[in-house]
């Protein structure tokens, strides 16, 4: 799952932008992944389901993540936490902690996150109490809710 972590980290940082300027204070605390859109499907981590995005059919069918390529990712997502505190993003997963410094940047009415050691800068915003993280290049979007 390390490769999933490396893929999600830059994407996580991208989505927090559009509605209001995000601050260190608004990010502070632990977050859990509740859903994401990988471009092919919308995955609901809490319900353990996914919906294939198929423009040609016009109708979406809901599937269980069990015994699909999404099963492992959903299990990892359900158990992992992202913690923002004092300019540091710590990812807690599989009993391990990995911490990296982050910096918020404001440009053209959006908030972007720059993670130490990462090349891409990602857009991030909070809407209806949920943090959205979007990879503007790939169109992937991740949605996080506050974790207990």
> What is residue 69's predicted lDDT score, i.e. its pLDDT?
76
Lookup result for tokens 């502070």: 28
**11 closest CA partner among 129, 140, 144, 125:** 140
> What is residue 75's predicted lDDT score, i.e. its pLDDT?
83
Q: What is the pLDDT of residues 97-110, one digit of tens each?
A: 999 999 999 998 89
14: which 2 tokens?
């991208």
Residues in the chain: 148
* Percent of residues, the chain, with pLDDT higher than 70: 79
b/e burial code for range 95-133 (CB count within 10 A of at least 16 → b): eeeeeeebebeeeeebbbbebeeeebbbbbbbeeeebbb
Enumerate residue ranges in the chain where pLDDT < 50.
Answer: 1-3, 5, 13-19
Cα–Cα distances in Å, from 57 out to 52, 54, 60, 61?
10, 6, 8, 10
């Amino acid at each position: 799952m390390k490769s999933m972590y490396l893929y999600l980290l830059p994407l996580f940082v991208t989505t927090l932008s559009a509605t209001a300027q995000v601050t260190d204070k608004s990010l502070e605390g632990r977050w859990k992944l509740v859903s994401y859109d990988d471009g092919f499907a919308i995955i609901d981590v809490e319900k353990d389901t996914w919906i294939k995005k198929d423009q040609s059919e016009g109708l979406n069918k809901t599937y269980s993540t069990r015994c699909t390529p999404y099963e492992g990712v959903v299990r990892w997502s359900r158990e992992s936490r992202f913690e923002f505190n004092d300019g540091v993003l710590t990812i807690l997963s599989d009993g391990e902690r990995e911490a990296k410094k982050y910096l918020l940047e404001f440009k053209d009415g959006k908030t972007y996150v720059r993670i130490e050691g990462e090349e891409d800068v990602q857009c991030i915003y909070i809407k209806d109490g949920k943090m959205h993280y979007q990879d503007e290049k790939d169109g992937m979007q991740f949605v996080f809710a506050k974790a207990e």
